[in-house]
Amino acid sequence: MSIKDEMPLLARHEGEWEGEYIWVDAEGNVTDRHATHLACTFPADGEWPYYQVNTYTWPDGRTEVNHFPAAYKDRNIWFDTDRINGRAWEVDERTICLTWTRKDDPNGFFYEMIQLDETGTKRSRVWQWFEDGVCTKRTLINERRVS
């Protein structure tokens, strides 16, 4: 069976997404806000069965592009890039969870929950950032499918 067959919810995320990341500290104060564009793909050829490209754009015009190729095994996608190490799995028919660490932050770890609406055109994501076991900030993300 293929990744799309074994992870049908993840397959429904295929396409281009635009939205906004809002970073808040532990007290709920907004510390950063920027636009995002994500491309979630399942390449037919090549080394990676899942490939995601995130492009972030700040109001001052600054941009950042990150590539997240993923391996597939045991109904999980596994990331091991120069930036992160982690995995994602389906929880139910609407929810995907991820857990990862950033390679530049050995004391931190992250949990992300992604929920796709019934139409497959909107999704909501929350990252929780932990440092030494304490949640220090969250990233709140609302996105809409653009293709």
Q: What is the pLDDT of residues 26-73, one digit of tens each?
A: 999 999 999 999 999 999 999 999 999 999 999 999 999 999 999 999
Per-residue confidence (pLDDT) for residue 106, from 0 to 100? 80
Are 125 and 143 in contact by the 8 Å Cβ rule? The answer is: yes
Per-residue confidence (pLDDT) for residue 138, from 0 to 100? 98
Over residues 127-144, mean pLDDT: 96
Predicted TM-score (pTM) of this structure: 0.95
Q: In whole angstroms, give the CA distance from residue 124 to residue 120.
A: 11
pLDDT band at 141 (very low <50, low <70, confident <90, very high): very high
- Classified as helix, coil or strand, 6 is helix
